[in-house]
């Protein structure tokens, strides 16, 4: 028998139902039920539309129609949701805060802290260093001179001096004349009960001289300053002899009266403990400061605390007059010559600016922040005095309109107890600067050092210490058309992109750092360290 399909009379083949119908109609074979034919035709038509082939164009058209309908449906839902959200907003300003959050989220790197995971505070004393409460070699009276932060650091030095001499420290008297005419006493600014309690295992702190020595005439002494490489032996040897002889010694100055380097770890720890833990502001100052910080952080937004030292006395002292008028520069020169205790009189302000030792102008601060990537809606709180010059903060406010001070963050009633109390107002600025998302300072003065140190002590909170010498060079090149804005901004960011670690601690903070590597202690000194001795310990592993 032939295997050819044409050999027999019947052809057997497997066809889809549609093929069979077409074959039967075309060839006239057999009878087909009409009802069955229509039912089968509808079913096969649906199947055909679901498969590509000769009906591919119909399939594509159906898919496009489905996509268009579903898109319109989703669009209608989104518009409905948008209108409902918009209706719940209180004001148009509230609505504008939505993209602000998105903007901050997208640029979170400019707010991020880098590298505190391997370090932590190391200020605990050993049991061997706890004082013997039954003995004291005498009593120290101290006059803390200067502004708020100069006094704070001087007081922390006096705590260390009292420890070195095993002496009792009477609450220091504060300066009322040399910096501000502020009548505030220690108890008006600082929580003296906390100060005494926090230091009780190190030194004895007294409100006043005890009756046994109340009538003793103190030996008045101005101790030599740290600029003469003052070491602890000066107190434990020379001054201790005077104290033992007179029982009461009165120091007329406290600022910079103890060297920063070459001091035992236990004394450095004590200075750090006194500066950042024992010296605390009064409850009323702390409470208002916390309110102002909360208002700045409203809606979860970050803020910059800007220590803009473009004040009249600072500019006169440094001789810097960039961007000022001729009359303003002359006014500063007269003030400098009038102030007798300022030794330097003839100053080349242009040269000092090129060396990077002048405070930034408001305009330079604005350009710096813009180059670093901070958006124009960033909140900036000025933690400094009145800005000098007829243009004031105009250049900064043009770029960053959200400018705040403690004076416009607090109500008149809230500030009333602090009026004419400049040190107490400075304490509010200190709290705002300490808790800022970013602390940016334009001149390395007493407050900048104290805040920078405290923020490291708290956990390496982000602080911007501008490289002013290179920044001035770059901004001048840009203004002379040697750099485009993009090139300028890239180089500025490159100069200030620092991840804090062992290798660059000294470049970002001032002071003395004690770190533990296993059981071995290592001391890192910084030549320009002045006030904020910071003691940190490297975590094991």
**What's the pTM?**
0.74
Any domain includes 14: no
Any domain includes 79: no
Is the separation of the CB atoms in 492 and 372 below 8 Å?
yes
Give tens-digit pLDDT for 150-164.
Answer: 999 999 999 999 999
User: Is residue 270 domain-shared with residue 329, that is, in the same domain?
Assistant: no
User: Is residue 430 domain-shared with residue 331, that is, in the same domain?
Assistant: yes
- Apex 504 CA angle, 383 and 353, nearest 5: 50
Number of domains forming the structure of the chain:
2
User: Is residue 416 domain-shared with residue 500, that is, in the same domain?
Assistant: yes
Per-residue DSSP letters for 78-126? Answer: HHHHHHHHHHH-SSHHHHHHHHHHHHHHHTGGGG-----TTEEE--PPP
Any domain includes 4: no
User: Is residue 248 domain-shared with residue 327, that is, in the same domain?
Assistant: no
Collapsed DSSP state (helix, strand, coil) of residue 50:
coil
Any domain includes 168: yes
Rounded to 10 deg, the angle between the 362-372 and 468-479 helix axes is 90
- Of residues 428, 454, 464, the one with CA closest to residue 153: 454
Per DSSP, helices labelled H in 339-467 are 349-354, 362-372, 394-399, 406-409, 412-415, 422-434, 446-459
One-letter-per-residue 3-state SS of 426-458 = HHHHHHHHHCCCEEEECCCCHHHHHHHHHHHHH
User: Is residue 439 domain-shared with residue 494, that is, in the same domain?
Assistant: yes
Provide the pLDDT for residue 291. Answer: 97
Any domain includes 24: no
- Of residues 134, 141, 138, 136, the one with CA closest to residue 155: 141
Provide the pLDDT for residue 524. Answer: 33
Residue where one domain finishes, among candidates 210, 245, 277? 277
Residue where one domain finishes, among candidates 210, 242, 277? 277
User: Is residue 401 domain-shared with residue 374, that is, in the same domain?
Assistant: yes
Give tens-digit pLDDT for 365-391.
Answer: 999 999 999 999 999 999 998 899 888
Provide the pLDDT for residue 79. Answer: 53
Domain that holds residue 439: 100-119+283-535
Any domain includes 209: yes
User: Is residue 357 domain-shared with residue 433, that is, in the same domain?
Assistant: yes
Burial of 405 (0-12, 13-18, 19+ CB in 10 A): middle
Q: Which residues of the chain have pLDDT under 50?
A: 1-50, 82-106, 499-541
- Of residues 499, 379, 408, 436, the one with CA closest to residue 109: 499
- 7: which 2 tokens? 């050999």
Any domain includes 392: yes
Is the separation of the CB atoms in 388 and 350 below 8 Å?
no
Residue where one domain finishes, among candidates 232, 248, 277? 277
Provide the pLDDT for residue 44. Answer: 45
Give tens-digit pLDDT for 186-219.
Answer: 999 999 999 999 999 999 999 999 999 999 999 9
- 488: which 2 tokens? 């300028």
Calpha distance 447→463 (Å, rounded): 13
Per-residue DSSP letters for 263-283? Answer: --HHHHHHHHHIIIII--B-H
User: Is residue 209 domain-shared with residue 324, that is, in the same domain?
Assistant: no
User: Is residue 183 domain-shared with residue 159, that is, in the same domain?
Assistant: yes
Any domain includes 131: no
Provide the pLDDT for residue 46. Answer: 42
User: Is residue 146 domain-shared with residue 194, that is, in the same domain?
Assistant: yes
User: Is residue 424 domain-shared with residue 459, that is, in the same domain?
Assistant: yes
User: Is residue 489 domain-shared with residue 373, that is, in the same domain?
Assistant: yes
As beta bridge partners, residue 47 has none
Collapsed DSSP state (helix, strand, coil) of residue 1:
coil
Calpha distance 352→468 (Å, rounded): 11
As beta bridge partners, residue 206 has 170
Provide the pLDDT for residue 373. Answer: 94
- Of residues 149, 142, 147, 156, the one with CA closest to residue 182: 147
């Amino acid at each position: 028998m032939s295997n050819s399909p044409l050999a027999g009379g019947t052809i057997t083949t497997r066809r889809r139902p549609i093929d069979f119908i077409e074959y039967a109609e075309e060839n006239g074979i057999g009878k087909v039920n009409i009802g069955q034919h229509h039912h089968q035709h509808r079913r096969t038509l649906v199947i055909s539309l679901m498969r590509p082939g000769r009906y591919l164009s119909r399939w594509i058209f159906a898919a496009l129609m489905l996509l268009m309908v579903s898109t319109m449906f989703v669009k209608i839902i989104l518009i409905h949701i948008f209108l409902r959200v918009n209706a719940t907003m209180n004001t148009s300003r509230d609505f504008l805060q939505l993209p602000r959050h998105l903007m901050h989220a997208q640029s979170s790197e400019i707010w991020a802290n880098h590298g505190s995971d391997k370090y932590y505070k190391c200020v605990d004393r050993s049991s061997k260093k706890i004082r013997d409460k039954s003995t004291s070699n005498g009593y120290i009276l101290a006059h803390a001179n200067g502004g708020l932060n100069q006094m704070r650091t001087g007081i922390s030095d006096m705590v260390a001096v009292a420890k070195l001499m095993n002496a009792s420290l009477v609450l220091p008297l504060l300066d009322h004349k040399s910096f501000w005419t502020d009548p505030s006493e220690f108890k008006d600014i600082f929580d003296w009960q906390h100060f005494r309690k926090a230091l009780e295992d190190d030194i004895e702190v007294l409100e006043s001289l005890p009756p046994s020595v109340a009538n003793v005439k103190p030996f008045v002494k101005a101790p030599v300053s740290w600029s003469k490489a003052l070491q602890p032996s000066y107190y434990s040897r020379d001054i201790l002899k005077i104290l033992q002889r007179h029982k009461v010694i009165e120091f007329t100055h406290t600022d910079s009266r103890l060297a920063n380097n070459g001091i035992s770890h236990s004394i450095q720890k004590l200075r750090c403990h006194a500066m950042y833990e024992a010296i605390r502001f009064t409850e009323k100052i702390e409470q208002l400061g916390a309110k102002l910080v909360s208002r700045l952080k409203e809606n979860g937004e970050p803020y910059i605390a800007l220590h803009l030292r473009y004040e009249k006395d600072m500019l006169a002292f440094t001789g810097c007059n960039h961007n000022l008028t001729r009359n303003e520069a002359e006014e500063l020169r007269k003030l400098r010559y009038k102030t007798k205790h300022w030794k330097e009189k003839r100053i080349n302000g242009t040269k000092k600016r090129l060396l990077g030792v002048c405070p930034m102008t408001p305009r330079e601060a604005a350009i710096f922040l813009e180059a670093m990537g901070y958006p124009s809606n960033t909140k900036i709180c000025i933690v400094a005095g009145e800005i000098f010059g007829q243009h004031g903060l105009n250049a900064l406010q043009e770029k960053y309109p959200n400018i705040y001070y403690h004076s416009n963050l607090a109500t008149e009633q809230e500030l009333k107890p602090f009026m004419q109390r400049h040190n107490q107002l400075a304490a509010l600025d200190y709290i705002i600067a300490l808790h800022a998302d970013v602390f940016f300072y334009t001149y390395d003065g007493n407050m900048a050092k104290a805040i920078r140190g405290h923020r490291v002590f708290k956990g390496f909170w982000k602080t911007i210490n501008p490289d002013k010498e290179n920044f001035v060079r770059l901004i001048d090149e840009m203004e002379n058309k040697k750099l485009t804005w993009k090139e300028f901004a890239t180089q500025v960011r490159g100069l200030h992109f620092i991840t804090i670690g062992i290798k660059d601690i000294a470049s970002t903070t001032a002071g003395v750092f004690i770190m533990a590597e296993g059981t071995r202690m290592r001391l890192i000194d910084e030549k320009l360290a002045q006030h904020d001795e910071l003691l940190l310990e490297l975590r094991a592993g």
